[in-house]
Structure 1
Amino acid sequence: EHKRETRFTSQCPPKEIISKIAEAARPLGFDIQKKNYKMRMENPKAGRKGNLNVATEVFQVAPSLHVVELKKAKG
């Protein structure tokens, strides 16, 4: 079975992390909704398992260290 989520750390500011992920997802056809340190990406083109929907959230664990969590919500 495939993992439905992944996490990684980053020393970049949260707004930069969110905007870089959005920048990478837009050319792939994702619709993006951002709110603070959360983002929802949805690909309106249905694949064989339906629309792909990915939730992204950034957590601060130290002043200059953040954990980025990406979860497959749908698809």
Structure 2
Amino acid sequence: YGLAGLLVAQPQLIATLPRRQAMLYKDNQDLRIVRVPFQIVPIETNMIWSPLLQHSKAHQWLRRSLIEFSASVADR
């Protein structure tokens, strides 16, 4: 999403971004942020890791941290 603001600053271009990402561009006078006129189906995100890391304490901590962080920002 990092280049979206630069790309849509060009005439006749649009982009669909998550609200949090779009708000990074709210001060750009050349861009308008509007809600889409239709329902967007949520995207399912999954974690995948090697079975060799299943019992790694560090990897367990990382997976737990990612789940907790994701839950904390899910509805923002």
- TM superposition score normalised by structure 1: 0.25
- TM superposition score normalised by structure 2: 0.24
Select the structure with the greater relative contact order (CA < 8 A; seq sep ≥ 6): 1
